[in-house]
Structure 1
Amino acid sequence: MTKKYSKFLPCVEDFSLDNFPFYWVTQVHAQHVQNVDHALKKYGLDNSRRRILLALKAKSHASVSDLSEMIISKMSTTTKIVYRLKDEGLVDTYSCEDDARITRVLLTEKGQQMTQKINDLTNVVLEQSFDGLTPLQIEKMIESLKHIFKNLAR
């Protein structure tokens, strides 16, 4: 281990969770999910379904495999969520014309309306999250997180 990162790693003698970046990443993520889940409860949704719906808003007619990659979830888990959303009338599925083994997913009109409601509710959580930060600080944080993600994904 290089000395320049030792203060951030749990293997040092005087380690503190306050210095472990991934502790804070998981804490922030867990608190965000908890706040979003609480806000979405009024629509009978949870974070897993929210993530699929917003991924479809960004990439309509995505395959289940695409969605699984986008939300970093196992294919079986993504498939279960997609079919739950289909039963709720929020998405529809169809077989790909080029390859019938591929299932494509799209938002229904009801799903489109739900994504708007989701965005309205989660904007409140987002504003609360970033209170006291400048847009530049948020952009820098995003750049850093993307960089760390790329390092971990290699």
Structure 2
Amino acid sequence: MADTPVTTPTDPDEFRMEQWPFYWLTRFTGHYLQRIELTLKAIGLDVPRWRVLMSLRNRDVLSVSEIADHAIVKLPTMTKIIQRMQVDGLVVSQQSATDGRVTEVRLTQAGREAGEQAWKAANRIYRRAFENVEAGEIDMLNALLQRLSYNLSD
């Protein structure tokens, strides 16, 4: 890689796929999802359940809409995921005591255990993805991706 930053030309005739940041984001995400799907399948989970488990990690309760927002999933889809996870015994949900329109979700003991198992598996993928990457670079990447995400949010 070059030491100087490469910008993507706006002229379509000068476009090179490898200079397009979305190309690399998509490739990275695709590779990550392939690995995480295989890893989670081995422990009886899938990516939607993983996203719920990680959203609730270190939190007592979140609403279904908050979980959907973290997971970037439409609310009706997240509602169905939560319902399946209830059947699996991973979460419990109830109407909020302060707002009857809100459904709150909590992990069960089985959900906490599944989340811990999934966390360990995902952490192995994280370590592989970021080997030879310094902590400061990860911080910069997080800050940049956060800014880009904000730029595209409504």
Whether these two folds match at TM > 0.5 is yes
Matches for 1:1-154 after TM superposition, within 5 Å? 7-8=7-8, 11-154=11-154
The structure-2 alpha-carbon separation of the partners of 1:11 and 1:46, relative to structure 1 and needing over 3 Å to count, comes to farther
SS in 2 for 1:54: helix
> Which amino acid in structure 1 is aligned with residue 45 of structure 2?
L
How many residues end up aligned between the 2 structures? 149
Show structure 1 runs of 4+ deviating over 6 A: none
Q: For the residues of structure 2 that align with 1:55 and 1:109, how far apart are their CA atoms?
A: 16
Are the equivalent residues in 2 in contact too, given 1:90–1:110 (CA < 8 A)?
Answer: yes
Give CA-to-partner distance per residue, 1:37-87, whole Å, 9 cap, x none.
111112221111100111011433111111111111100111111111111
Task: Note if contact 1:10-1:16 (Cα within 8 Å) is conserved in structure 2.
Answer: no
Q: Structure 1 residues 109, 135: CA separation in 2 closer, same or farther (over 3 Å shift)?
A: same
Q: Aligned equivalents of 2:19 and 2:145: distance in 1? A: 16
Relative to 1, partners in 2 of residues 1:35 and 1:142: Cα closer, same or farther, differing over 3 Å? same
Contact 1:89 1:108 in 2 (8 A): yes
Q: Judge conservation of contact 1:64–1:105 (CA < 8 Å) in 2.
A: yes
CA–CA distance in structure 1, aligned partners of residues 7 and 145 of structure 2? 19
d(CA) in 1 for partners of 2:91, 2:142 = 30
CA contact (8 A) 1:17 1:23 kept: yes
Q: Percent identity?
A: 28
